[in-house]
Amino acid sequence: MTHQPRPATDRRRTAEVVVIGGGIVGACCADLLAAAGRTVVVVERGSLTGGTTAAGEGNILVSDKLPGPELELALDSNRRWRAMGDELGATIELDPKGGLVVAATDDGLAALHALTTRQRAAGVEVELVDVAGMHALEPHLTPRLAGGAFYPQDLQVQPVLAVAHLLRRARAAGAELRAGVEVTGVEREPSGRVRGVTTTDGPIETPVVVNATGVGSDALARLAGIDEGLPVQPRRGHILVTEPLPRLVHRKVYDADYVGTLGSGQADLEVSSVIEGTAGGTILIGSSRERVGFDRTTNPAALAAMAARAIALFPVLVRARVIRSYLGFRPWTPDHLPIIGEDPRVPGLWHATGHEGAGIGLAPATAALVAAGITGTPPPLDPTPFRPDRPTLVGVGTDS
Ligand SMILES: Cc1cc2nc3c(=O)[nH]c(=O)nc-3n(C[C@H](O)[C@H](O)[C@H](O)COP(=O)(O)OP(=O)(O)OC[C@H]3O[C@@H](n4cnc5c(N)ncnc54)[C@H](O)[C@@H]3O)c2cc1C
């Protein structure tokens, strides 16, 4: 995304809020805060959307969430994405395609059925589908399946386009965007409260900083004087991209094992099948999960396992050519919940981070919680489970 940088003399040296991070979470926060009338500066050290957001497939899922706070956040976000789609529509490639979860064995199907019962009670729309029903939805699926479940609320968005449009809207409402500028320090009053930030482009005075730096959140917390940091670690994931093909995969399709790998904290490689078509005709094949720090080396074993699983689900893909693969780092937290809220150790520092593999889906509700807290308006849902000082995070060090 390109934008005209302001001349240095025009740049704001004070702001009501500085949002650090030009990914999907920072963009959603900037959009809501600017709409609420706050003067906002967004600071991004690389290019806008140059972080994990560009690696995301753009799934906005309720289907992979267990009942609890993350599902509540996902349901709220799902409504917000739909409302955004009404306004931004095709420009962000928002596709209400729905998600199809498939089980290969009777045991897997029984577990999936049990999960759907709990999810339905928590407000998720889900329909059980037999093998014939699955083939009506996805004609190219293997016949060697036990059954599945269809989730009509699941959506897909093009995350880079979404960030571009959200930041454009924020800028129209008065926000200033500074790409290629790194925050190098968070200044504090003697009382400990935030006073401003230092950047590679000079200081900005502000009483409120939003830490939307994804896998950079631990480092940012340390810059703010939190010696123990924030327990957000990179969890690497790969995606394979096929050549553009006629539409072979209509929904987001994934195997029932996927939900298990999400919740696991395992550091070693885990692979599950997540397959979907895109508006451009390519098919995205995921996904892998491994905690190997910030190692950007492609893992061929992960790619081979992902391809094999995809072909097992969609045998037609055996003839598809892969044109590229890419990887990114999910911001993982030890209790699998994002960290959202003001840090009691540094008043004025708001975290909006730690969404692991669901940050695109969860960003709008995250921003709504942050904006409500900063503007002193009622939160859209209970923020307590996400607070930075929750017992399941306190005392958990970072080991990457
Ligand atoms: C392979 C893969 C597939 C995924 N698929 C999906 C999916 O389908 N659906 C979904 O919801 N999620 C998905 N995710 C997860 C999702 O991409 C992330 O949760 C989300 O992008 C995190 O967004 P963010 O804005 O928090 O972080 P980022 O997008 O990483 O943005 C943070 C930004 O902060 C900047 N920054 C850091 N430190 C500083 C500093 N000191 N000064 C200035 N700027 C700084 C960085 O440069 C970066 O651009 C996937 C992730 C991967 C890896």
Q: Is 212 in the pocket of ligand 1 (CB under 6 A)?
A: yes
- pLDDT for the residue numbered 85: 87
Provide the CA 354 distance to its chain's centre, in angstroms.
9
Query: CA-to-CA distance for 79 and 85, rounded, in angstroms?
Result: 10
- pLDDT for the residue numbered 296: 95
Query: CA-to-CA distance for 343 and 52, rounded, in angstroms?
Result: 23
107: CB partners within 8 A, 6+ apart: none
| pLDDT greater than 50 at residue 11 | yes
- Which one of 1, 59, 213 would you pick to mutate in the ligand 1 pocket, going by the greatest count of ligand atoms within 8 A of its CB? 213
Q: Is 154 in the pocket of ligand 1 (CB under 6 A)?
A: no
- pLDDT for the residue numbered 1: 47
- The DSSP bridge pattern shows strands 183-188 and 349-353 to be unpaired
| pLDDT greater than 80 at residue 337 | yes
Residue % of the chain over a pLDDT of 70: 93
Q: Angle formed by the axes of helices 24-35 and 359-375, to 10°?
A: 30
Residue 265 is encoded by which pair of tokens? 């904290």
Average pLDDT over residues 26-35: 98
Query: CA-to-CA distance for 275 and 134, rounded, in angstroms?
Result: 15
User: pLDDT band for position 266 (50/70/90)?
Assistant: low
| pLDDT greater than 90 at residue 295 | yes
- Which one of 19, 42, 49, 52 would you pick to mutate in the ligand 1 pocket, going by the greatest count of ligand atoms within 8 A of its CB? 52
- pLDDT for the residue numbered 4: 53
Using CA positions, which residue lies closest to atom 32 of ligand 1?
Answer: 213
Span 170-226, pLDDT tens digits: 999 999 999 999 999 999 999 999 999 999 999 999 999 999 999 999 999 999 999
Cα 332 to ligand 1 centroid, rounded to whole Å: 11
List the one residue out of 393, 388, 375, 399 whose CA is nearest residue 33.
375
Using CA positions, which residue lies closest to atom 41 of ligand 1?
Answer: 183
Average pLDDT over residues 369-375: 98
Task: Identify the H or E element spanning 194.
Answer: strand 194-199
Query: CA-to-CA distance for 307 and 285, rounded, in angstroms?
Result: 7
| pLDDT greater than 80 at residue 392 | yes
User: pLDDT band for position 2 (50/70/90)?
Assistant: very low
Where are the alpha helices (H) located in the chain, listed in sequence order? 24-35, 69-88, 106-121, 131-137, 159-172, 217-223, 258-263, 300-313, 359-375
Higher model confidence: residue 72 or residue 87?
Answer: 72
Q: Which domains does the chain have, with CATH numbers?
A: 12-55+159-232+336-386 (3.50.50.60), 99-152+233-332 (3.30.9.10)
Q: Which atom of ligand 1 is nearest to the CA of 237?
A: 1
Cα 297 to ligand 1 centroid, rounded to whole Å: 18
Q: Is 108 in the pocket of ligand 1 (CB under 6 A)?
A: no
Query: CA-to-CA distance for 69 and 6, rounded, in angstroms?
Result: 41
289: CB partners within 8 A, 6+ apart: 235, 236, 237, 261, 262, 264, 266, 269, 270, 271, 330, 357
Query: CA-to-CA distance for 350 and 212, rounded, in angstroms?
Result: 9
Query: CA-to-CA distance for 21 and 23, rounded, in angstroms?
Result: 6
17: CB partners within 8 A, 6+ apart: 33, 38, 39, 40, 41, 206, 208, 209, 210, 374
- pLDDT for the residue numbered 156: 93
Instruction: Give the mean pLDDT of the chain.
Output: 93
Average pLDDT over residues 40-69: 95
- Which one of 215, 299, 330, 333 would you pick to mutate in the ligand 1 pocket, going by the greatest count of ligand atoms within 8 A of its CB? 330
| pLDDT greater than 70 at residue 42 | yes
Average pLDDT over residues 225-232: 96
Query: CA-to-CA distance for 388 and 374, rounded, in angstroms?
Result: 15
Span 114-153, pLDDT tens digits: 999 999 999 999 999 999 999 999 999 999 999 999 999 9
Q: Are 67 and 119 in contact (CB under 8 A)?
A: yes
| pLDDT greater than 60 at residue 254 | yes
Q: Is the preceding omega at residue 287 within 30 degrees of 0, hence cis?
A: yes
| pLDDT greater than 60 at residue 6 | no
Residue 162 is encoded by which pair of tokens? 């979404």
**3 state SS of 110:** helix
